[in-house]
A and B are shown apart, each in its own frame.
Chain A
Amino acid sequence: DAGITQSPRHKVTETGTPVTLRCHQTENHRYMYWYRQDPGHGLRLIHYSYGVKDTDKGEVSDGYSVSRSKTEDFLLTLESATSSQTSVYFCAISEMLAGGPWEQYFGPGTRLTVT
């Protein structure tokens, strides 16, 4: 999986609790992304990062925050989890070289259940 790990792989939490998901890469890629995947919606971008401390919102960012203090780590935080945030979360990395964007590589995913 292109040197990408996600932790935890599975988590069950209660409504209202904070949750942090971690993505770790060993590829030294500049770009990192967090997606959620739900039936009927495909992959939707939550937040992304284009460098250390440089982040921006995706299409479904409400209720989520991110941080990137090191090139290799990208954290996704649910400040107060809700049942609507039950989903499978994927991290992805990519690089931009001369000639344009390159493929995104995905991690194995984290299955989050909010009860």
Chain B
Amino acid sequence: GESVGLHLPTLSVQEGDNSIINCAYSNSASDYFIWYKQESGKGPQFIIDIRSNMDKRQGQRVTVLLNKTVKHLSLQIAATQPGDSAVYFCAENGSSNTGKLIFGQGTTLQVKP
């Protein structure tokens, strides 16, 4: 069945270092991927997305890499800040044409000052 998974439940990094959060997906039909950030007590917040016709997309301090060969997605955060501490989710659209997303379990990013 379809599944989206993150490799590590918790990632702890030093402030100022770069963070890399990984995600594996299983549905080869997925052509749209999103990363969300969720702070405690809040709803998921869109960070960045990427379509399957791209390998890399950059935003402000964030980069998403997509490797379709091994069905792997990663989120890189440059110069990690305390405000980046949150749970990060990846999501894929599977074979849906109704905008439905399949979410991974989430990785908790802890930033040490």
Distance of A33 Cα from B43 Cα, bound (Å): 13
- Write out the residue numbers on chain A whose beta carbons fall within 8 Å of the beta carbon of B43: 1, 90, 106-109
Task: Check: A62 CB closer than 8 A to any chain B CB.
Answer: no
**Chain A, 56-114, CB within 8 A of any chain B CB:** 56, 58, 90, 94-96, 100-109
Q: Is the CB of B49 within 8 A of A56?
A: no
- Chain B residues with a Cβ closer than 8 Å to the other chain, count: 24
In terms of DSSP, what is the predominant structure of the interface of chain A?
strand
Residues of A near any B CB (own CB < 8 A)? 1, 31, 33, 40-45, 48, 50, 56, 58, 90, 94-96, 100-109
Residues of B near any A CB (own CB < 8 A)? 31-32, 34, 36, 41-46, 49, 51, 89, 93, 96-101, 103-106
18 additional contacts (CB under 8 A) given A40-B105, A102-B49, A106-B36: A31-B98, A33-B100, A41-B105, A42-B106, A45-B100, A100-B32, A101-B32, A101-B93, A101-B97, A102-B99, A103-B34, A103-B46, A103-B49, A104-B46, A104-B101, A108-B43, A109-B42, A109-B43
